[in-house]
Chains A and B, each alone.
Chain A
Amino acid sequence: MSQRIVVDPITRIEGHLRVEADIEDGKIKDAFSSGTMVRLLEEILKGRDPRDAWAFVGRVCGVCTSTHSLVSVRAVEDALGIIVPPNAELVRNLMFASLYMHDHVVHFYHLHAMDWVDVVNALKADPKKTSELAQSISNWPKSSPGYFSDLQKRIKKFVESGQLGIFANGYWGHPAYKLPAEVNLIGLAHYLEALEWQKEMVKVQTIFGGKNPHPNYLVGGMACSVTLDDMSGINAERLAYVKTILDQGKEFIEQVYIPDLMAIASFYKDWGSIGGGLGNYMAYGDLPTKGFNDPSSFKFPSGAILNKDISKIHEVDLRNDKEVEEYITHSWYSYEGGDQVGLHPWKGESKMNYTGPKPPFDHLDFSQKYSFLKTPRWKGNAMEVGPLSRMLIGYAHGRPEFKEVVDKALKDLDVPITALFSTLGRTAARGLESVLVANWAQEFYDQLISNIKNGDTRMAEQSLFQPSTWPKQAIGVGYGEAPRGALAHWINISDEKIANYQLVVPTTWNASPRDNNGQRSAYEAALIDTPVADANQPVELLRTIHSFDPCMACSVHLYDEHGKHINRISVVGD
């Protein structure tokens, strides 16, 4: 006899996600993922200046802030044939790297760690042993017995106050928590340190983009001119500032994040065979080193892997209308051609069609429509996107950097390569790619310095900035890798205005409802067979969901309410 549980809201994510699961014999037998908020930004973009789109779509998400703006300016540049100067590409890469380093650390400590780390149990730790353990896994200086002792006292006082704040009602003491008290204390200490650290990491974006969250981008390049002889632009002081932040960020990732990740993972190796799900992985690629028109130069390569077969990489073509298609069979929209067909984003059409129960309600009917997310498919396949997909595809391409970090992690944990296809693999991949990105950021920085030293200070190509220079009609695709996975925007420009704008975002790939054939998407598939010891405290369910780093605001599509237009924008979330 199965038992239905509802987890809504899923917290420690961006946005609004509801999961219902059927539990039988202590395991999840079936699961349903529902996005319960929609803003319809695609409709709002129509008729606006294409050069402004980055600002609108930037507001899709304040957590993976900047990633939608970046992909948006790429879409417009693709449509108008604008090639950005090398320095602008490097600055964009540096902002990208800063986002990854920030976002992955924040996800690990502030959104995911409490699924693995028992905060209250940390009170039982021996500070001296904690110190010895911390010093055995890292050179990070904040590791003395006194440091951990002081921290423990603070936590004790906090718990005794009875006001548990964000830690209230957690699943503390749940048998699924396996860490020794000392590791819990280290995890908690670094939760707090990471909270301080994160506000520094974003300053790369502030220097180049003026603010964070939501830094400014520019079609044709970046607005931050290089002006070595003026205080207004990117001068020696600004560059030195960037270097300092990048160095400190790399240090934190290497000395805190990775040692913690490996230490915690070593106690949860069983999660290397839980939460695998689809086994299909896809990445579009990102971080150009020779211009965006040369994908072979990307640090993150593109491709698709089917059925966990890393010996074969399939090519992905976003312009081919037979590859990416979206279904709305179980989504609160409707197509003129019926609810069973799939449409390429260019041909997308639909209107809002909420058919769920009238709120307040207890349950959704999963035989019907049950989410504001559409269901994208690649050649009919449900695909998982995100850090694990990127690492597997880099690995499958045989890139030495990828192989090095992945193989080392597998060896250190003493687990087989199949352990990657799991909840643990997903969480580990996020850390490993942070290491790569932190290293690459140093290369981008050095290249930027080298360019400036050689006299190239160009930061924006503005010869095609004025609408009078544009063709009457133009279409473009911008794509890239958001922290949570493959992201693409499709734009259609007509008479200097946006005629259509579509977004298919990572969390739509991962969190969408079933398709016309009843195939599960990544979240629903990964939850199958996840153990749940106590249906009232489903911490295991949260582990698998959080391993994807959900970002719901991105993932809701936009449709025409009246169904009069086709080629609507759909925002699917990173």
Chain B
Amino acid sequence: MSKVTKKNAFHHNKKQPHPLPSNLIYNLLVNNLINISMSNITKTQAPTYYDEVIRKGYSRRDFLTFCTTIAAYMGLNQSGIAQVTEALKTKPRLPVIWLHFQECTCCSESFIRSSHPIVADVLLDQISLDYTETLMAASGAQAEEAMQNTMKKYKGEYILCVEGSVPTAADGVYCMIGGKTSIQILEEAAENAKAIIAWGSCASNGCVQSAKPNPTKATPIHKILKGKTIIKVPGCPPIGEVMAAVIVHVVTFGRIPELDRTGRPKAFYSKRIHDSCYRRSYYDAGLFVESFDDENAKKGYCLYKVGCKGPVTYNSCGTMKWNNGVSFPIQSGHGCIGCSEENYWDNGNIYDRAAIFPGFGIEANADTVGKVALGAVAVGVTAHAIMTNVRKKKILQTIENEGKLGESELE
């Protein structure tokens, strides 16, 4: 658009464009989805991210600043910045198919929350979200056709995002769309996808509907799509900014981010909430909330004794926080419920201490810590060491069992 037009604009248009770094999330999403590195996609004439920002009146300097911010955000070094810059400057947009199965749509809602001022750009300028039951204009046959078109036209090039688990009981009839079961739809859409992302705990580990007794046999997608690499982004929902950043990584580097043993991006799931919690010092000092809204709660003490699962939950809530950094559960006075952890619905009650999980046994220690503050640090460290080791052991065992379990469930 021309500068003249901008000057004519009323009010908000008098302002300079927002500094790019503040537009982080959505830009990331938008650009990245669209820009995913597909060499053979260059045949399309879709504008690159660089084209878009220049067109909007940002300078090249703004653009480079933005790239640097993304790179820093992702923990990249200097050469990484160059890669980000190159990717956003030259790569065309990529189509996305977003499926919905046994879900509550909280992942889609979280995703749109992550946007920054140019959230609208995502839809108009950046990604080509060709199928999503939540937002798409078309319904019924026309919706189905839109998905089929993308799968054909962009065979091997589109990203498949899955929100929700897949019920395998009763031959899959507990989730049907267009007369087909979710199993049939998932397998068809996954066959020629460039990359597959499991959004949220439902698609990653089954979430609430898979809690005991799992009446519909709700199944995470990696147990259906055996042999496919799947990026798991657990959480109920995941933080919107994390969802965005995962896509950015794929788009920018043309490959999936480094995953941990359970398939989660290390960048966002390698640390416990406890390790990044601003109330951690109270834990170490043995200062705990004993009951909600008590005097200690008003002082912001540690919520461990009223059930906080931060010590056994791997996620970024403590650092990135929620809804553009406004708060996170612990800051708002309630313990972490562990929503990004596998089987969290069956890992003890919400208000029970994490310590009573099988294999831990630090409860007495925590109480001692509360009474004898002097011993707190040493005991705390020991407790953490125990919990971490058990945790690691459990993860290894889980991975080992998962393949077998998935096979047996499908048989």
Show the binding face of A for B, using Cβ within 8 Å. 6-16, 18, 36-41, 43-44, 48-49, 51-52, 55-56, 59-63, 65, 110, 114, 119, 141-147, 149-150, 153-155, 157-158, 161-171, 191-193, 195-196, 198-199, 202-203, 206-216, 218, 220-227, 230-233, 241, 352, 354, 356-362, 372, 457-460, 462, 465, 536-538, 542, 553, 558, 561
Q: Closest CB of chain A to B325's CB: distance in Å?
A: 10
**What mask results when residues 298 to 320 of chain B are scored 1 for a CB within 8 Å of chain A, else 0?**
11100000000000000001000
CB under 8 Å from chain A, chain B span 115-139: 115, 117-120, 123-125, 127-130, 132-139
A211-B327 contact given A39-B102, A192-B120, A226-B298, CB 8 Å threshold? yes
Q: Closest CB of chain A to B206's CB: distance in Å?
A: 11
Are B184 and A359 interface neighbours, CB within 8 A?
A: yes
CB under 8 Å from chain A, chain B span 85-123: 93, 95, 100-110, 112-115, 117-120, 123
The contact of A55 among B102, B113, B120, B350, by CB within 8 Å, is B350
Are B8 and A223 interface neighbours, CB within 8 A?
A: no
The contact of A362 among B101, B107, B118, B179, by CB within 8 Å, is B179
Are B333 and A144 interface neighbours, CB within 8 A?
A: no
Are B175 and A36 interface neighbours, CB within 8 A?
A: yes
* B375 beta carbon closer than 8 Å to chain A: no
Residues of chain A with a CB closer than 8 A to B345's CB = 44, 56
Q: How large is the interface on B (under 10, 10 to 19, 20 to 34, 35 or more residues)?
A: 35 or more
Are A210 and B140 interface neighbours, CB within 8 A?
A: no
Are A144 and B8 interface neighbours, CB within 8 A?
A: yes
Are B101 and A37 interface neighbours, CB within 8 A?
A: yes
C-alpha spacing A62/B201, complex, angstroms:
13
Q: Closest CB of chain B to A174's CB: distance in Å?
A: 11
The contact of B332 among A207, A357, A537, by CB within 8 Å, is A207
Residues of chain A with a CB closer than 8 A to B179's CB = 6, 8, 357, 359-362
Main secondary structure of the interface of A (DSSP, over half): loop
Residues of chain B with a CB closer than 8 A to A358's CB = 171
* B195 beta carbon closer than 8 Å to chain A: no
C-alpha spacing A15/B127, complex, angstroms:
23
Residues of chain B with a CB closer than 8 A to A536's CB = 141
9 tightest A-B CB contacts, nearest first? A62-B106, A232-B300, A170-B137, A144-B10, A192-B120, A210-B329, A210-B332, A146-B9, A141-B11
Q: Closest CB of chain B to A141's CB: distance in Å?
A: 4
**What mask results when residues 138 to 159 of chain B are scored 1 for a CB within 8 Å of chain A, else 0?**
1111110110010000000000
Q: List 17 A-B contacts (CB under 8 A).
A: A37-B176, A40-B209, A59-B106, A141-B10, A150-B5, A154-B124, A168-B137, A168-B149, A170-B138, A193-B120, A195-B119, A199-B114, A210-B327, A210-B332, A214-B236, A223-B332, A225-B293
Are B9 and A225 interface neighbours, CB within 8 A?
A: no
Residues of chain B with a CB closer than 8 A to A459's CB = 292-293
Residues of chain B with a CB closer than 8 A to A356's CB = 173
Are B292 and A165 interface neighbours, CB within 8 A?
A: no
The contact of A61 among B105, B119, B167, by CB within 8 Å, is B105
Are A202 and B323 interface neighbours, CB within 8 A?
A: yes
C-alpha spacing A10/B184, complex, angstroms:
19
* B174 beta carbon closer than 8 Å to chain A: yes
* B6 beta carbon closer than 8 Å to chain A: yes
Residue of A at shortest CB range from B142? A169
C-alpha spacing A56/B8, complex, angstroms:
52
* B337 beta carbon closer than 8 Å to chain A: yes
Are B299 and A62 interface neighbours, CB within 8 A?
A: no
C-alpha spacing A215/B334, complex, angstroms:
10
* B297 beta carbon closer than 8 Å to chain A: yes
Residues of chain A with a CB closer than 8 A to B46's CB = 161, 163
Residues of chain A with a CB closer than 8 A to B133's CB = 9, 11-13, 16
Show the binding face of B for A, using Cβ within 8 Å. 1, 5-13, 44-47, 93, 95, 100-110, 112-115, 117-120, 123-125, 127-130, 132-143, 145-146, 149, 167, 170-181, 184, 207-209, 211-216, 218, 236-237, 279, 291-294, 297-300, 317, 322-324, 326-334, 337, 339, 345, 349-351
Q: Closest CB of chain A to B212's CB: distance in Å?
A: 7
Are A114 and B12 interface neighbours, CB within 8 A?
A: no
Q: Closest CB of chain A to B318's CB: distance in Å?
A: 12
Residue of B at shortest CB range from A363? B179
Are A38 and B350 interface neighbours, CB within 8 A?
A: no
Q: Closest CB of chain A to B355's CB: distance in Å?
A: 17
Are A49 and B109 interface neighbours, CB within 8 A?
A: no
Residues of chain B with a CB closer than 8 A to A150's CB = 1, 5-6, 9, 13
Residues of chain A with a CB closer than 8 A to B120's CB = 191-193, 195-196
C-alpha spacing A114/B7, complex, angstroms:
31
Residue of A at shortest CB range from B93? A163
Residue of A at shortest CB range from B291? A462
Residues of chain A with a CB closer than 8 A to B93's CB = 163
Q: Closest CB of chain A to B411's CB: distance in Å?
A: 19
Residue of B at shortest CB range from A42? B215
Are A206 and B10 interface neighbours, CB within 8 A?
A: no
Q: Closest CB of chain B to A551's CB: distance in Å?
A: 9
Are B5 and A149 interface neighbours, CB within 8 A?
A: yes
C-alpha spacing A537/B326, complex, angstroms:
43
C-alpha spacing A363/B172, complex, angstroms:
17
Q: Closest CB of chain A to B163's CB: distance in Å?
A: 9
Q: Closest CB of chain B to A47's CB: distance in Å?
A: 9
Residues of chain A with a CB closer than 8 A to B172's CB = 359
Are A210 and B137 interface neighbours, CB within 8 A?
A: no
C-alpha spacing A9/B137, complex, angstroms:
12
Are B104 and A352 interface neighbours, CB within 8 A?
A: no
